[in-house]
Amino acid sequence: MVSPRKRSAVPLLQLREVTKSFGPVAAVRGVSFSLQAGRVHALVGENGAGKSTIVKMLAGVHQPDTGGIELDGRPARLGGPAAARDAGIAVIYQEPTLFPDLSVAENIFMGRQPTARFGRVDRAALRAATARLFERLGVAVDPERQARGLSIADQQLVEIAKALSVDARVFVMDEPTAALSGVEVERLFAVVRGLCERGAAVLFISHRFDEVFSLCDHITVLRDGAWVSTDPTADVTPDTVVRRMVGRDVAALFPKEDTEPGETVLEVRGLGRAGVFEDVGFSVRAGEIVALAGLVGAGRSEVVRAVFGVDRYDAGEVRVAGRRLPPGSPARAMAAGIALVPEDRRQQGLVMELSIERNATLTRLRRLTRFGLLTGGGERRSAAEWADRLQVRYGRLADPVATLSGGNQQKVVLAKWLATGPRVLIVDEPTRGIDVGTKAEVHRTMSRLAGEGLAVLMVSSELPEVLGMADRVLVMREGRITAGLSRREATEESVMFAATGQAGAVA
pLDDT band at 473 (very low <50, low <70, confident <90, very high): very high
Q: Residue 78 above 90 pLDDT?
A: yes
pLDDT value of residue 362: 81
Residues 276/489, Cβ–Cβ less than 8 Å: no
* DSSP β-bridge partners for residue 317: 269
Single pTM value for the model: 0.59
Q: How many CB atoms lie within 10 A of CB 124?
A: 10
**What pLDDT is attached to residue 138?**
86
Rounded Cα distance between 406 and 226, Å, is 21
Domains 4-98+150-246 and 248-337+455-507 share a fold: yes
Helix residue ranges, H only, 138-226: 152-165, 182-197, 209-215
> Is the pLDDT reported for residue 177 higher than 90?
no
3-class SS string, 273-308: ECCCEEEEEEEEECCCEEEEEECCCCCHHHHHHHHH
pLDDT of 400 above 60: yes
Beta strands in 150-263 (DSSP E): 170-174, 201-205, 218-223, 226-232
What pLDDT is recorded for position 374?
Answer: 54
- Residue 6: phi and psi, rounded to 5, are -110, 15
Between 366 and 40, whose confidence is greater?
40
Ranges 174-188, 305-319, 401-415, most confident: 305-319
Name the β-bridge partners of 476: 294, 481
In the chain, where are the structural domains located?
A: 4-98+150-246, 248-337+455-507, 338-421
pLDDT (0 to 100) of residue 373: 54
Most distant CA pair in the chain, distance: 78
Contact 132, 141 (CB under 8 A): no
For the residues 84-98, what does the mean pLDDT come to?
87
Report how far residue 363's alpha carbon sits from residue 350's, in angstroms, rounded to the nearest whole number: 11
- In whole angstroms, give the CA distance from residue 389 to residue 394: 13
pLDDT in tens, 289-336: 999 998 777 899 999 999 999 999 999 999 999 999 999 999 999 999
Q: What is residue 361's three-state secondary structure?
A: coil
pLDDT in tens, 497-506: 888 776 444 4
Is residue 343 classed as helix, strand or coil in its secondary structure? coil
Q: What is the mean pLDDT of residues 117-123?
A: 84
Average pLDDT, the chain: 87
Q: 4-98+150-246: what fold?
A: Rossmann fold (3.40.50)
Of 191-195, 245-249, 398-402, 475-479, the range with the lowest mean pLDDT is 245-249
User: Looking at 14-18, 75-79, 369-373, which range is the least confident one?
Assistant: 369-373
Neighbours of 107 (CB within 10 A): 23
130-170 pLDDT, tens digit each: 999 988 888 888 999 999 888 888 888 998 999 889 889 99
What CATH number labels 248-337+455-507? 3.40.50.300
Percentage of the chain exceeding pLDDT 90:
51
The pLDDT of residue 376: 57
Judged against a pLDDT cut of 50, whether residue 68 lies above it is answered with yes
CA angle 16-230-13, nearest 5°? 40
Q: Per-residue confidence at 247, pLDDT binned at 50, 70, 90?
A: low
